[in-house]
Amino acid sequence: MINLVYFGSPAFSAKILESVIRIQNSEFKTIGVVTQPDKLLGRRQVLTPSPVAQIAAKYDLPVFKPEKLDDGNLSHLKLLKPDLFLVVSYGKIIPASWLTTPVIGTFNLHFSLLPKYRGALPISEAIKNDDQETGVTLMQMDEQLDHGPIISQAKISIDINDNCEALTNKLTQVDIELLTEYLPRLASGKFTSTPQDNSQASYTPTTKTRTRQSAFIPWSDIQCAMSNEQSALTTHALIRSLNPDPGAWTVINSPSLREGTPTKQSIEIKILKTSLKTIMTLDTVQLPGKNPISWKQFTSGRPPS
């Protein structure tokens, strides 16, 4: 029996963890989980475990939430006698001493066709660059970022209206299918790998660049996309790459009557959904603190200028 320890944190990683637990058999079993420490979430700032920690609790698995991946925390993990580490969007750089701890090895599922888009934001970058396809890569980890030898890859097409959430859901399902086939092979050691072609490597920005400020799109750019075919493709891709988090937004000027005199009032809107035919159209928007509405509803009350 091979002992597997799972490293992960976000919601899609939690879905993959649950699939791993369900497909485990007489060859391997999940014996523990390593995830990010609990975080304060929501307006009330409630201390909340990661989605992966919540799934681990559901199945009564030991959960480790180390602030630092140091030798002290590693010694606790070694008590589980791990044979295999599986990493799916854990959120911390794993040091060499941890990578070499399991007998069989440490493996990673990355949401791109490596060596393209190494780094933390492969999904949003693929959408922003208007790629026609992407995929998932199962690889053996080494000390460098998304650099280790490739065991298997699976490709999927990117729909012209996919945003980050939609594409993440699709890739999660592909990951589950890939693991169903390859986890027994990893557990038995019956797999082969191929070194990456580092000359073809590209890197994504860091998660720190994905902020509300960086999600601002000038209204003039959006107007251009709604009238120009070439600009439409670029702006539509950018908006999709920013949604649903941190969320694309803009500021427009709308006529407002004050004391009988027409003036201009700045209005901030969040752009929830656009679509593309020849040019880009706005489908759904949201005013601060309000429910989402259609662009038609918005313009009927606040015609933009």
CA 150, distance to chain mean position in Å, is 20
Residues 197 and 272 in one domain: no
pLDDT for res 208 = 87
Mean pLDDT across the stretch 194-198?
97
pTM summary value: 0.92
Mean pLDDT across the stretch 101-115?
97
Cα 5 to Cα 29, 161, 303, distances in angstroms: 9, 36, 56
Checking if the pLDDT of 274 tops 50, the result is: yes
Residues 171 and 283 in one domain: no
Checking if the pLDDT of 255 tops 60, the result is: no
Residues 230 and 260 in one domain: yes
CATH number of domain containing 192: 3.40.50.170
| Contact call for residues 254 and 302 (beta carbons, < 8 A) | yes
pLDDT band at 257 (very low <50, low <70, confident <90, very high): very low
Mean pLDDT across the stretch 181-202?
94
Other residues' Cβ atoms within 10 Å of the Cβ of residue 287: 14
Helices 11-23 and 164-188, packing angle to 10 deg = 30
Checking if the pLDDT of 116 tops 90, the result is: yes
Dihedral (Cα; 207, 90, 174, 214), 10-degree rounding = -10
Checking if the pLDDT of 258 tops 90, the result is: no
Number of domains in the chain: 2
Q: In what order do the strands lie in the sheet with 84-88?
A: 63-64, 28-34, 2-8, 84-88, 105-110, 133-140, 150-157
Residues 120 and 252 in one domain: no
pLDDT band at 303 (very low <50, low <70, confident <90, very high): low
Residues 181 and 241 in one domain: no
Residues 177 and 37 in one domain: yes
Mean pLDDT across the stretch 276-304?
90
Query: Domain boundary at 138, 170, 204, which?
Result: 204
What are the pLDDT digits (tens) for 73-83?
A: 999 999 999 99
Residues 42 and 155 in one domain: yes
* Spatial distance between the Cα atoms of 204 and 39, rounded to a whole number of angstroms: 25
Checking if the pLDDT of 14 tops 70, the result is: yes
pLDDT band at 18 (very low <50, low <70, confident <90, very high): very high
Query: Domain boundary at 180, 204, 228, which?
Result: 204
Of 102, 92, 45, 48, nearest to 70 by C-alpha is 92
* Identity of the amino acid at 168: T
Proportion of the chain above pLDDT 90, given as a percent: 84
* Spatial distance between the Cα atoms of 157 and 11, rounded to a whole number of angstroms: 22
CATH number of domain containing 237: 3.10.25
Residues 219 and 83 in one domain: no
pLDDT for res 243 = 97
| Contact call for residues 104 and 193 (beta carbons, < 8 A) | no
Cα 147 to Cα 59, 125, 159, 273, 301, distances in angstroms: 32, 18, 28, 35, 53
Average pLDDT over the chain, rounded to an integer: 93
Bridge partners of residue 39, in order along the sequence:
48
Checking if the pLDDT of 305 tops 70, the result is: no
Residues 56 and 186 in one domain: yes
Residue position matching structure tokens 């925390």: 73
pLDDT for res 41 = 87
Task: State phi, psi for 154 to the nearest 5 degrees.
Answer: -135, 135
Q: In what order do the strands lie in the sheet with 293-294?
A: 249-258, 261-276, 280-286, 293-294
Residues 104 and 27 in one domain: yes
| Contact call for residues 85 and 93 (beta carbons, < 8 A) | no
Domain of 222 in residue numbering reads as 213-301
Query: Domain boundary at 154, 171, 204, which?
Result: 204
